[in-house]
Amino acid sequence: MKGNNYWVLNGFAIYNSKKGLVLDNSHHNDIKNINVNKIGDEGIHLRTYSSFNTVENCYVDSTGIVSTGTGEGMYVGSATSNWATYTGGDPDTCNYNVLTGNSFGAHIVSENIDIKEGTSHGTISYNTFNGAGLNGQNYADSWLDMKGSYYSIACNTGANTIADGLQSHINYTGFGDYNIFSGNDLTVGSTGYGINVATSSSNGTATHNVVCSNNTVSAGAVGLTNVTTQTCSGASCLVTSVASPAETSLYNLSPNPANDHITVNLSKENTATSYVITDVLGQVKKSGNFDSFSVHIDIQELVHGMYIFTLSNTNSSVRFIKQ
């Protein structure tokens, strides 16, 4: 896809291709329920300034069949060595992308997700990582390589890896910093860390990454992390109590993903009078009241990412994406 905006790609398969799905200079697209398998290089790649995209509920397996050193499941941005090719030498600022609810098979030879330097303000959440296929080439020894900044890495699970579960790196000055790791459940199966955070390299230092104390690690790891953990206010994963809009009989929320507003239509059986919107860490971002069975809610002030809408007098919640 080149220069495509506001597309919805839903419910199909990509097989037997050199690359799976590549977005160049494409924005505000929703990629969901896609099966990517038997791919020569990487599975899904957001590249050349592609921003404000959502990749959700996709399945990727059997990547790197041809190029065993470049078989990432999902890939955001470009390495500094490729900026001359794709962005005229400037940082490939693929920003505000959301990768959520995706799962990865046992035959992905490189990282499940590789977030490149130059990118920022993304969300990596509710993904199920699998490192059984990692081959170690080009340092492919973790589920996630985080080289961007200002990302939320929350509520992911993973099993089997060569070294660490989640890693951050400083591959370009000013990046690999200000990321938050929260609520991740990591079955490492190696002698590495659950979360290994780089604090210095030849490209500078990164001292503002946050590893919340609610991350968990098991299965042989040397420890949760190599840095001091922090208590994160309101940090909890709410996925078990969150339904899709189709599963919620009390109300309907649309559009999803949304840009500047959402509309909530209540059923006649609903007696709710107020609502609350939280981020994936449980922090309240917006609240309000109902004065009719239909309400329009302005969400322009919310940053790009995943949010949870809850009726305040019920246990009914739905996830939605702000693009």
Q: What gap in Å lies between CA 81 and CA 84, rounded to an integer?
A: 7
- Whether the ω angle into residue 255 lies within 30 degrees of 0, i.e. cis, is yes
Phi–psi pair at 17, nearest 5 degrees: -135, 155
Q: Are residues 218 and 234 in contact, defined by beta-carbon separation less than 8 angstroms?
A: no
Q: Are residues 163 and 131 in contact, defined by beta-carbon separation less than 8 angstroms?
A: no
pLDDT at 242: 40
pTM given for the model: 0.81
Token readout for 281 is 């860490």
pLDDT at 257: 78
pLDDT at 245: 41
CA 60 to centroid of chain Cα atoms? 14
pLDDT at 244: 43
Contacts of 246 (CB under 8 A, 6+ apart): none
Pick left, alpha or beta for residue 293 (phi over 0 → left; psi -120 to 50 → alpha; otherwise beta). alpha
pLDDT at 240: 37
For the chain, the domains span: 8-225, 239-322
3-class DSSP assignment, residue 112: coil
Which long-range contacts link 235-239 to residues 24+ away (Cβ below 8 Å)? Answer: 235/182, 235/183, 235/281, 235/282, 236/183, 236/281, 236/282, 237/126, 237/154, 237/155, 237/183, 237/280, 238/278, 238/280, 238/282, 238/308, 238/317, 239/126, 239/155
Low-confidence ranges of the chain (pLDDT < 70): 219-220, 233-236, 238-249, 269-272, 280-281, 315
pLDDT at 118: 98
The CATH number that domain 239-322 falls under is: 2.60.40
pLDDT at 269: 67
Q: What gap in Å lies between CA 250 and CA 262, rounded to an integer?
A: 16
Over residues 249-262, the pLDDT tens digits come to 678 888 877 889 99
- Number of alpha carbons in the 13 Å side-chain half-sphere of residue 94: 32
SS3 string, 139-200, reads HCCCCEEECCECCEEECCEEECCCCCCEEECCCCCCCCCCCEEECCEEECCCCCEEEEECCE
Pick left, alpha or beta for residue 147 (phi over 0 → left; psi -120 to 50 → alpha; otherwise beta). alpha
